[in-house]
Structure 1
Amino acid sequence: MLKRIDVDQLTIGMHVHEFCGSWMEHPFWRGKLLLNDPKDLSAIHGSSIKEVWIDSSKGLDVPPGANAVLTAQSDAQVDSELLQAATPVANDLPKTREIARVPATQEMARAAKTCERAKHAVVSMFEEARMGKSVDVGGAGQLVDEISDSVARNPGALISLARLKTVDDYTYLHSVAVCAMMVALAKQLGMSESDIRLAGLAGLMHDLGKAVMPMAVLNKPGKLTDAEFKIIKSHPVEGHKLLLTGDSVDEIVLDVCLHHHEKMDGSGYPRGLSGDKISIFAKMGAVCDVYDAITSNRPYKSGWDPAESVRKMAEWANGHFDPVVFQAFVKTMGIYPVGSLVRLTSGRIGVVIEQTGKSLTMPSVKVFFSTKSNMRIAPHIVDLSHPSCNEKIQGREDPAVWRFPDLNELWSEIPGA
């Protein structure tokens, strides 16, 4: 029996079936859990969640005589109650959610919160996998929806923020970044809403196998030995095994986890698949995985500039990536992705803050340095796609050469980014 109750009625031993609210409002990455730790109960009470659904067949019921807000026999009835609460006429509901696009400057702060919450969710997911608990892929669905909503509002915001990782955060935020890029790429490829969601879920789960890799090897601050690399190369197979412990994990999610390191020329792993033997989703996973890996700081090297990374990937495209998928990826990210340091024809230097959608070579740039006077200037935004703009990008600049200490803060507008 499913019952909707006030959080004040929750007690140790109850099985939470679903939180009534966004995953952003509660402290758990999954939606279902058995309350057996007083800390979890305190965390729920400390959140903004007011009501939850409990399953009395899997845990304790409310005391005799206590009233529940609602009762239901199945998930279908729960969904029906939620639908009726949302609108009196179900037939008027749109088939897909309409989310208005907003400027990057408007989305950054919200994306930063989503990114941080998502990181903690992935940390919890990996910790549960390390402890041998079955993987609740379904519980990650709301997380994917929140990331997808941010991508819909502005693709560059969350994807770019997730690139800013510490060494300790890398594995977790990498999963968040790949999830966001998979969603954006799936949209670019014209996939259905269900496939877009599965692509995001696959991106979130693609590196689950790293949960069982030795931390000393995973975070080694130098080149791996052949023996250590062999261990790391086992993570797709190990992740696939972990996913199989969950209930009804979609084949797309399993496929991307197992095959995101395959290459078009057959030189990848673990199966050495080539060409059409690799699924479209695994090909997408390969592109997104590599981009985030090479643009992020790692224990053994600093990340490359986003524009330089796209150029390098284009050089590898023939043997490594599917050309159609890679071209769609470039259209998604831009030739000069958010965070790229560029020099304009005026001699001014700026950082890309947003794609304009009008041309891959005409993003919006925040200029802040004059090479003619060799000094900083008041930052201001130049939309290179605007008809009145007579400037163009002259070329990429190497951040390692210029060493601007506030470069990330300039494009993200988040202090200390």
Structure 2
Amino acid sequence: MLKRIAVADVRVGMHIHEFCGAWMDHPFWKAKFLLETDKDLQRIKSSSINDLWIDVSKGLDVAAGVVSITAEEVAAEAEARLLAAVQSQPVSLAVSMEEELNRAAKLCSRSKSAIISMFGDARMGQALQFEQASELVEEISDSIMRHPNALISLARLKSCDEYTYMHSVAVCALMIALARQLGLNEGQVREAGLSGLLHDIGKMAVPNEVLNKPGKLTDSEFAMVRNHPEAGSRMLLESKQVSALVLDVCLHHHEKIDGSGYPHHLEGEQISLYARMGAVCDVYDAVTSNRPYKQGWDPAESIRKMAEWKGHFDPIVFQAFVKTVGIYPVGSLVRLESGRIGVVMEQQAKSLLTPRVKVFFSAKSGTPIPQEVLDLSKLVGRDKIVGRESAEEWGFRNIDDLWTGF
């Protein structure tokens, strides 16, 4: 059983399952390990982490009288908070998810080539040409208008070696969808999309071997990576081809509401709306993507974790983001009340809790079952999502194949 406890209550012999907070707020390379030394205990207590998860089946339980909360209790609490904060709004879809997925796959391929070319010029120190970027933003915007789930979900699926390029496409798509959710006009939507496409161009000032390093970065390498917002803003400023808005997102998408971000430790209203949007979109795609040094998190689990990061995101922007991608985004692995396990295929306009789900496994019998797509909006009172599941813990592989159809 998993329990969340305060760092003050951690003791040697406990099995650490997960730290609560942003992925770089703790001093350990691996999040799951048996706490065996007082030295490591002190490292945890001196970090900025306030809470963490322990697995009592693999190590010591909490001492008598210590307050803890189970995973089920946390999930219910988080669900209630998210539901209280967000309400579904009807969405008019021009085409089906299946039809737009096919278009989006081709667009992702074209986008990757265009970004590689643009970013390649930046790495070589050549003059930046952004004509293709504007055309790309238009195409991505059109795809999001036809069906917001398709491209956003597909762009999340990327190999480690193409992360830097496809991450830019994914953040562009997320920024466009979020901008529309916030009610911005179409000119502002396009600017938000362009800022997402170019937000990480400063990473071209970082050597590839550092960007794609599978192990932990040295202090000097980490400093190099943290410098990418400033490097990118210099590139964009020198190009004289983008607006101050795009430049601002590039420079400030790693700032946090509580002032603990970088490079300028801005806080609250000092951070522009677009940079606050960029912070959410950037982190969501980063944590749900496979990287050289870590496997991506499940989309629904990512939303749950991000909601717990106090002081990281603007609450209003984050709530709008959840409306955009859903409490259970496409690709999330979920368990139904009936005991069936499935993957979310598509959001529904009526409710964030009743997506289309493809079931394929029985948690009760522990065996595969015939695949079936269920529209949970038509099964109200008969079946519903009761929790998130971990593909890793179940040993499921390639579950994304179930919803992409590729």
- Name the TM tier (shorter chain): 0.7 to 0.9
CA contact (8 A) 1:134 1:242 kept: no
- 1: CA distance between counterparts of 2:246 and 2:398? 38
Q: Give the drift of 1:154.
A: 1.3
Check if 1:178 corresponds to 2:167. Answer: no
Which residue does the alignment assign to 2:96? 103
Listed as ranges, the matches of 1:153-232 within 5 Å are 153-232=146-225
Aligned-residue Cα RMSD (Å) equals 1.3
Listed as ranges, the matches of 1:3-402 within 5 Å are 101-316=94-309, 318-386=310-378, 390-402=382-394
Which stretch has the larger CA shift, 219-228 or 370-379? 370-379
Higher relative contact order (CA 8 A, sep 6+): 2
Q: Give the drift of 1:151.
A: 1.0
Q: Which runs of 5+ in 2 are unaligned?
A: 1-91
- 2: CA distance between counterparts of 1:413 and 1:142? 28
Deviations 1:191-222 (A, max 9, x none): 00000000000000000001120112111111
Q: Match of 1:116, as an amino acid?
A: S
Q: Give the drift of 1:360.
A: 1.3
Q: Is the partner of 2:368 in helix, strand or coil? A: strand
CA contact (8 A) 1:135 1:245 kept: no
- 2: CA distance between counterparts of 1:271 and 1:137? 27
- 1: CA distance between counterparts of 2:271 and 2:232? 18
- 2: CA distance between counterparts of 1:239 and 1:403? 40
Q: Bigger radius of gyration, 1 or 2?
A: 1
Q: Give the drift of 1:305.
A: 0.3
Q: Give the drift of 1:390.
A: 1.7
Q: Give the drift of 1:288.
A: 0.3
Q: Is the partner of 2:95 in helix, strand or coil? A: coil
- 1: CA distance between counterparts of 2:205 and 2:223? 14
- 2: CA distance between counterparts of 1:143 and 1:240? 21
Q: Match of 2:232, as an amino acid?
A: G
CA contact (8 A) 1:261 1:269 kept: yes
Q: Is the partner of 2:175 in helix, strand or coil? A: helix
- 1: CA distance between counterparts of 2:278 and 2:316? 14
- 2: CA distance between counterparts of 1:321 and 1:102? 33
- 2: CA distance between counterparts of 1:388 and 1:249? 49
- 2: CA distance between counterparts of 1:387 and 1:371? 19
Q: Give the drift of 1:410.
A: 0.2
Deviations 1:5-62 (A, max 9, x none): xxxxxxxxxxxxxxxxxxxxxxxxxxxxxxxxxxxxxxxxxxxxxxxxxxxxxxxxxx
Q: Give the drift of 1:100.
A: 5.1
Which stretch has the larger CA shift, 112-121 or 384-393? 384-393
Q: Give the TM-score, by structure 2 length.
A: 0.76
Paired positions, count: 315
State the identity %: 62
Runs of 4+ in 1 over 6 A off after TM superposition: none
Q: Match of 1:159, as an amino acid?
A: I
Q: Give the drift of 1:166.
A: 1.1
Which stretch has the larger CA shift, 159-168 or 130-139? 130-139
Q: Which runs of 5+ in 1 are unaligned?
A: 1-98
- 2: CA distance between counterparts of 1:190 and 1:138? 26
- 1: CA distance between counterparts of 2:378 and 2:142? 28
Q: Give the TM-score, by structure 1 length.
A: 0.74
Which stretch has the larger CA shift, 109-118 or 378-387? 378-387
Q: Match of 1:355, as an amino acid?
A: Q
